[in-house]
Structure 1
Amino acid sequence: MNQGVISVSCPLSITIPQGHHKNFKIFKSPKVFNAFTLRSRFIHARRPPICCTQINPWEPAPITFVSENEEDDTFLKRTENIFGSLDADSTTEAPEVETKELVEVETKEVVEVSNQPEVHLQIFKWPMWLLGPSLLLTTGMAPTLWLPMSSVFLGPNVASLLSLIGLDCIYNLGAMLFLLMADACARPKQPIKPLRSEAPFSYQFWNMLANVVGFAIPFIMLYGSGSGLVQPHLPFISLAVLLGPYVLLLSVQILTEMLTWHWRSPVWLVTPIVYEGYRILQLMRGLKLGAELSAPAWTMHTIRGLVCWWVLILGVQLMRVAWFAGIASLSRKQEIVANGS
């Protein structure tokens, strides 16, 4: 008979014979007869089991746990100790390499997700690349090149000194805004690692040495003129008009550089260039004012020496920028190779 067909048999009826034996009086007892009668009725009421080998479509398939390795049938060996049946060497664990790969994949996904808002934020930073240099041009070059000198310089007096200092303060505001914009463009919004751009000690030493030399020369000129070491004598107000704004802006530059080193800002490399470019214009303006003040020859030669000094320092700064750019590119390539390996 086909196994797929459900076979249901008729109710089973059992007939209990009532035998009378002369030796056994128990069958004549009504209590015993009633017990057998109830038992027969109970059996008569029961239904036989239904045998079926097919599974209904709504029932889940039976789960069978079979070892993948059919040759190895020893899942747990019978030992005296229950803990001895677990073999540490035979147990399979997740390899460490797969764990590392999983961590790297998750890290890449997090980086990709974190870089998506960074692309949108970078779009808002693009106008700063034009706005920052425009501020330097507006606050520095425009007043110096197009503003008539007669409207600023009225002679060797305090008013002329304050007017020249005001022009330099306007440029200082533009330089500060430029450095803030450059710092904002250089720093990522959501850095994976903390950004700490630290200037080397050798760079700090030589840069500070150049600033001290440029800062000391005007005071040497003042001491030589006041003590009579150099002749002819140059009045203090005339020297202040020629080199006073230069000394003040150089002091601001030294303070700004020290703050960028302390805060580890990525603009520490361009800060001297921003101020030294304008310093050359300051000294060229001092040469024009010296001709109007009929300054002594030694004063004019000293100012020309200062121009040459700061042009040399500016060239060294540009060489440092090129050197640091090469070092940064090399370190980036090494980091990519290390991550790839």
Structure 2
Amino acid sequence: MTQRWKKRPEGSTWGDFGPDDENGRLNLLTPERVRRAVAEVKEGRTFCLSLPLDYPGGNLLNDRRHPPRTFSTIRDGKANYNYRLDQHDGALTDVISDDAALIHLQYSTQWDGLSHVGSLFDADGDGVPEVVYYNGWRGGEDIVGPSGHAHGDGCSEYEGAHADRLGIEKMAQRCVQGRGVMVNLNAHFGEERKLVGYDELMAVMEADKVEVEEGDMLCLHTGFARMVLRMNRTPDPKKLHGACPVLNGRDKRLQNWITDTGIAVLIADNYAVEAYPSEPGEGKHAALPLHEHCLFKLGVHLGELWYLSDLADYLRANGRSRFLLTAPPLRLPGAVGSPATPVATV
């Protein structure tokens, strides 16, 4: 076990969970807190919190990410779909279908891994910033860029990139189960674009009597994913980039509140959780300040583009805000993000 940094970012949790930690605040999802979450189950009713993974449709939301493409595998030189095994002697009754997918891991409902966003930061204390990620893991050493060339499948990715540390499989191994807490921004602000800072968030939580405790998994319902569903894979670019309430990631008091509450993860049904582009920054600053604060400094994983509307409606109608949330990512070694099919149980 080695400490890879001499200086850590102000307000960060680097080292708090051990010098080689790769889980961040997932460490707060202790057995006791899982038992506390299970106690929120009153009816045994479940909600799927994932969009269909081919939503929003197209690549207007992020031009580097494309919808998944599924295709048949090959068997004996033929498509292995509705494939009859009796092709040789006629004695077999089996019919086989088998497929594969090319999927951008952060296209739809997703988790951002801690290797997704790092920062230029002088962790060595020598006056020269280097590429580092949560807990001082290094770009080029622990999170390794591609070694190959772009391949010609129409997507222009480079092969060979991998996160040897902070990969999304570390999150999967933690299972990601705990108490979810819903804040229904949509119920107060509708689908109009509104920057939500600390003051607005506190006002909504006070009005709805929502309380957040250490280790909770905070979910923000903005209505964005429900709007995306209505657009049926043909999204309106103006609505994609200019609708629904969204966190003001530049708000320092909001950042401090996320730090002080000890939430384990932060989840929203919109793109990026925070406003992008963000409010203007000063001096050297992050384009995505809440990503930097959560992923890089605190080790708080971000969930994006979750489908929260049905659950949020149910909770509001029943005067509740808490539920059991189970939300592991794919156990895909070396990936920096992953699709998710979260389940809420109430």
- Return the structure number with greater relative CO, CA threshold 8 A, min gap 6: 2
TM-score (norm 1): 0.19
| Structure with higher strand content | 2
Instruction: State which structure, 1 or 2, has the greater radius of gyration over its C-alpha atoms.
Output: 1
TM-score (norm 2): 0.19
| Structure with higher helix content | 1
